[in-house]
Structure 1
Amino acid sequence: MKTLPLILLLSIIFSCNSSAQKKDSDTPKTKEFKVSKTDAEWKAQLTAEQYHVLRKAGTERAFSSPLNDNHDVGTYVCAACKTPLYKSEHKFDSGTGWPSFDRVIEGNVAFSTDKKLGYMRNEEHCATCGGHLGHVFDDGPRKTTGKRHCINGDALEFVPAKK
């Protein structure tokens, strides 16, 4: 009778270690992007934080990016390859702690399915270099697209509009 609780505990532990949590995403690792560099080249070009987010699909700490509170007019570009990704006019305060946009610049952002947390999320990548940007959710502004593109500030650089 004492072995029953042990068997139940082991069953729970092993069931929580599913293959869905082990698979990073369905992004083709072998896909050729217009901008392609070796891991060493990316490490030399990017800051440690940018490398963690863009090349290792990391997430920066909420409310840590100065771009979260940026309200200037301009364009947000990929920090790795400078591809324009989001326009400032589509940025909104989601209260989540990450820069959020209700739409992308069409053709410059690619999407895949992220299963790292054990459930599916829509992941965003730079379509030019494949860098991880963040995720898109269906809880954005209802008056526009209804989408919230929740993006790591470390994946972006801001280019002010010319006056």
Structure 2
Amino acid sequence: MKKLALLIIITVFFSCNGTAQKSQTSNKESYAVTKTKAEWKEQLTDEQYYILREAGTERPFSSPLNDNSEKGVYHCAACNTPLFKSEHKFDSGTGWPSFDREIKGNVAFGTDTKIGYTRDEEHCATCGGHLGHVFNDGPKNTTGKRHCINGAALKFVAAED
């Protein structure tokens, strides 16, 4: 009887080794633009690399794009994908460029739990670069969303007159 119980315990223990680890490693997304770590480091500034490739956050009020009011489009600083239009930018008072909507199809979303609670993370749908987070406390007269974006993750392209 003891041998049977031991056999059952061993079987259960080894069957728990399971698929969680396997599904995490096989769930990597692929992007149209992919580069090695060395290639990204060569292309991006240290701050851009920290934000876009390591999901870092810039200090609030440190980006010149926070106060930018020119007409144009905000592109991904890593791969030049258009992400946000200037007409959807607003002053959220948070210290980061904020938009009430993204350019559909160019921004992808995921879940971020790094700081102890769940947030909706945004990244470039073309290269996977981390952009920031989206919250439900934006302007109520539009989408109600606040896309809180690191300025260093963006490149502004002014509209032609």
TM-score, normalised with respect to structure 1:
0.82
Offset of 1:155 from its aligned partner? 0.2
1:74 corresponds to which of 72, 75, 82: 72
2:159 corresponds to which of 137, 158, 161: 161
Which deviations, in whole Å up to 9, do the C-alpha atoms of 1:14-64 show, x marking residues without a partner? xxxxxxxxxxxx8x8721100000000000000000000000000000000
CA–CA separation in structure 2 for the residues paired with 1:113 and 1:51: 20
CA–CA separation in structure 2 for the residues paired with 1:49 and 1:153: 10
* Structure 1 residue 57 corresponds to structure 2 residue 92: no
* Structure 1 residue 40 corresponds to structure 2 residue 38: yes
CA–CA separation in structure 2 for the residues paired with 1:161 and 1:101: 17
Give the superposed CA RMSD.
1.2
Aligned equivalent of 2:13: none
* Structure 1 residue 121 corresponds to structure 2 residue 119: yes
The residue type paired with residue 96 of structure 2 is W
The residue type paired with residue 154 of structure 2 is L
Offset of 1:123 from its aligned partner? 0.1
The residue type paired with residue 107 of structure 1 is G
The residue type paired with residue 113 of structure 1 is T
1:88 corresponds to which of 65, 86, 89: 86
Q: Report % sequence identity.
A: 72
TM-score, normalised with respect to structure 2:
0.83
SS of 2:78 mapped into structure 1: coil
Aligned equivalent of 2:131: 133
Offset of 1:162 from its aligned partner? 0.8
Query: Number of residue pairs matched?
Result: 137
Aligned equivalent of 1:98: 96
Unaligned 5+ segments in structure 2 are 1-23
Pair 155,29 (structure 1): closer, same or farther in 2 beyond 3 Å: farther
SS of 1:150 mapped into structure 2: strand
The residue type paired with residue 98 of structure 2 is S
- Runs of 4+ in structure 1 off by over 6 angstroms are none
